[in-house]
Amino acid sequence: MAEVLDATARRVIAGGWYVLGPELDGFEREFAAYCGLAHAVGVASGSDALELALRALGLGPGAVVVTVANAGFYATAAILAVGATPRYVDVAAETGLLDPAALGPLLAAGPVAALIVPHLYGRLAPMAEILALCRPRRVAVIEDCAQAHGAQRDGRRAGAFGAVGCFSFYPTKNLGALGDGGALVTDDPALAGRLRALRQYGWGDKYHVELPGGRNSRLDEMQAAFLRVGLPALDGWNRRRRAIADRYRAGLRHPRVVCPPPGGADDVAHLFVLRCAGRDALAAHLAARGIGCAVHYPVPDHRQPGWRDADAGAGTLPVTERRAAEILSLPCYPELEDDEVAAVIDAVNAW
Ligand SMILES: Cc1ncc(COP(=O)(O)O)c(C=O)c1O
């Protein structure tokens, strides 16, 4: 892989075209086809993808956008950036995914313009139930696919369920660049057109601003070329991540450790997130054995100290808050060897 990337970098440098050129065109075509959609629009990051999706859908001050509070503040940051109001829905205890049973009452309670639903940890959210609640109320559904490249259910991949899917290509993602990157996918040509304008200052023609809210958010040629190298390998990487998750599920035997439920093609195992009473002690135990683990994520969005309106959802998200104190992500990435997985299992079981 390193040699191919090296040759790719040399090809892009020699080509002399570094922004909005043939590599991006090629990647957008190939990624849209992979997702089973008509359009992909490359942008500078997954965070920008979320924000530009909201802008392209015309959402701003006065709009209420519902999302979960356990997915790392990225959706909240986008909602706040466009001047809209976030409102939080609780998640399912076993998966950490948006809980449709909690969404129904929230949508019924007041006008909601849009929903940002993350396919957290690589697992598709319950989209049939979510769409059945959102469609009759004309709530625009934005999928946050930053952790779920390639996950599929009933022949549809992540990003193909709602109005638009937002991806991050941060290096650790299932499909990662060698730096920052992102993309949006949609079947709607008008929406794709607005996204293409917004990623470049809102221009229609060069130097002519046609849409407000635009900026510079382009996926550069070098990253697009690297992503074209990675895309054909994505399904294989996802299979390896799933196999590692299955090994953990089969091997972990500790009375205080609860594994995430098994997944099929709808789970690309971006992260293996267990639940554990005494999580911090387990993390310290693993760290002492040289095993790196992390918490995704320790502080729910409505509890973030840097956001001064942090009481917006306080006290209303019991599952989100309980999970934040219990979750721990074990190493799970395609390069991990079987003996390394076994060592993690042994270390957890010996705790
Ligand atoms: C669920 C989720 N949404 C959005 C993002 C933001 O992506 P980026 O880091 O490319 O801005 C990330 C990545 O960190 C993520 O995990």
Domain boundary assignment for the chain:
2-232, 234-349
pLDDT digits (tens, 9 = 90+) for 93-114: 999 999 999 999 999 998 999 9
**Res. 285 pLDDT band, cuts 50 70 90:** very high
- Cβ–Cβ under 8 Å, residues 279 and 328: yes
Q: Choose which CATH entry (1.10.3720.10, 3.90.1150.10, 3.40.190.10, 3.30.1300.10) describes domain 234-349.
A: 3.90.1150.10
Interatomic CA distance for residues 248 and 258, integer angstroms? 11
- Cβ–Cβ under 8 Å, residues 66 and 87: yes
Looking at residue 314, what is its pLDDT? 56
Q: Which residue has its alpha carbon closest to ligand 1 atom 5? A: 46
Average pLDDT, integer, range 213-221: 97
Is there an atom of ligand 1 within 6 Å of 162 CB?
Answer: no
For residue 104, give the nearest of 131, 77, 124 by alpha carbon.
131
Is there an atom of ligand 1 within 6 Å of 176 CB?
Answer: no
pLDDT digits (tens, 9 = 90+) for 124-176: 999 999 999 999 999 999 999 999 999 999 999 999 999 999 999 999 999 99
Assigned CATH topology for domain 2-232 = Aspartate Aminotransferase; domain 2 (3.40.640)
For residue 311, is pLDDT > 60?
A: no
- Cβ–Cβ under 8 Å, residues 164 and 186: yes
Is there an atom of ligand 1 within 6 Å of 165 CB?
Answer: no
- Cβ–Cβ under 8 Å, residues 214 and 158: no
| Span from the CA of 208 to the centroid of ligand 1 (angstroms) | 31
